[in-house]
Amino acid sequence: MNAMGPLPYSATVLDHFENPRNVGDVAGTAAVATVENVDCGDRVRLSLRVADSGIILEARFRTFGCVAAIAASSMTTEMVRGMDLESAAALTDRQVAAALGGLPESKVHCSVLAERVIRKAIENYRSAAGKAGQEAKQ
């Protein structure tokens, strides 16, 4: 709630906040990242299980943050499951917000955490895979 009253969240946002999907961690994966919004201190950790084919089989999150950040994290895990890494890395905060039925103007920035964390997790996965590939050549 703010000084003007409760924010006008969509039914989908409230559903993902009250019943977040895929909370937790994927164990033993290099496809993991944590990002923080330095302005508010909200934090999202995302981990992925990626098949050798590059398809995301599982996505889990832990978010310390506001209603919008939690709902966006939950929605992101649902959206990226079944995607290939290219498509998931191209996911935008606007797509996540749209899938949530929109976000109040003052909370649009909260979905940016979801976009940043999925890109970072994929970057970390590719970096680890690159190193493993180099070690295998030696």
Active site residues: 40, 110
Q: Is 37 in the site for ligand FES (CB under 6 A)?
A: yes
> Which helix (DSSP H) or strand (DSSP E) does residue 128 occupy?
helix 112-137
Q: Are 26 and 47 in contact (CB under 8 A)?
A: yes
Nearest residue (CB) to ligand FES, 26 versus 113: 113
Q: Is 110 in the site for ligand FES (CB under 6 A)?
A: yes
Site size for ligand FES, by CB under 6 A?
10
In angstroms, the Cα distances linking 128 to 28, 75, 116, 124, 132 are 12, 26, 18, 6, 6
Out of 65, 73, 79, 117, name the contact with ligand FES by CB under 6 A: 65
Nearest residue (CB) to ligand FES, 65 versus 74: 65
Query: Which residues contact ligand FES by CB under 6 A?
Result: 37, 40, 42, 65-66, 68-69, 107, 110, 113
